[in-house]
Amino acid sequence: MAKILYLLVLLLSPFMVLGNTNAIYKCMKDDKVVFSHSVCPEAFRQHKIEYENGITTEVDSDKREIKIDPLKALLNKQTISKEKLLQLLDSEIYRLKQENSYFEILRASEVQKLDRKRFWQTQAKDDPSYGLELQEINQRFDELILSNNNVMKVLNLHKSKIEAEASPDELMSQ
């Protein structure tokens, strides 16, 4: 019980907001287990738990690794391989598509909630207030989806530009 309470306090502490959101470290020492967004202290064994594209993986990572942020690498005038850049573009496009699917689910949920509200208030489907609320819901989600679609178009343009610049040997290695 004390372990669970200790873990709960640790996870709810405000310093947990900092750090990489898709990687969590499982720090273990004797019979204690602590989860952290930062690398474990030297005295602890660690497993790295990563979440990406809906898949969770846990890796025994006692060796400390320092990841290079792609944006920081570009700002420090370091280069990212074209393969890695294409992979990053693909993953961002995939994430935006998933987000659009999520927006459609949220839209359906809000429309369903609005329909329940209309039913219990015994309003007709042609009631002006119902129509306005439905229009607001659709407009809000259409704007979010349109924004994501515009970003995906730009990313796809960059991706095709990078692929066009790549030599045939580089494309064959992918």
Q: Kindly write down the DSSP assignment for every residue of 93-112, as one continuous string.
A: HHHHHHHHHHHHHHHHHHHH
Q: Where are the domains of the chain?
A: 2-60, 72-172
Task: Give the closest residue to 36 by CA, choosing from 62, 18, 61.
Answer: 18
pTM: 0.52
- pLDDT tens-digit readout, 8-21: 555 555 444 444 45
C-alpha 20/C-alpha 12 separation (Å) is 16
Of 99-108, 130-139, 157-166, least confident by mean pLDDT is: 157-166
- pLDDT band for position 35 (cuts 50, 70, 90): confident
Residue 33 one-letter amino acid: V
C-alpha 174/C-alpha 164 separation (Å) is 14
Residue for token digits 């689910």? 105
From residue 62, give the alpha-carbon distance in Å to each of 25, 36, 40, 42, 45.
10, 14, 9, 9, 6
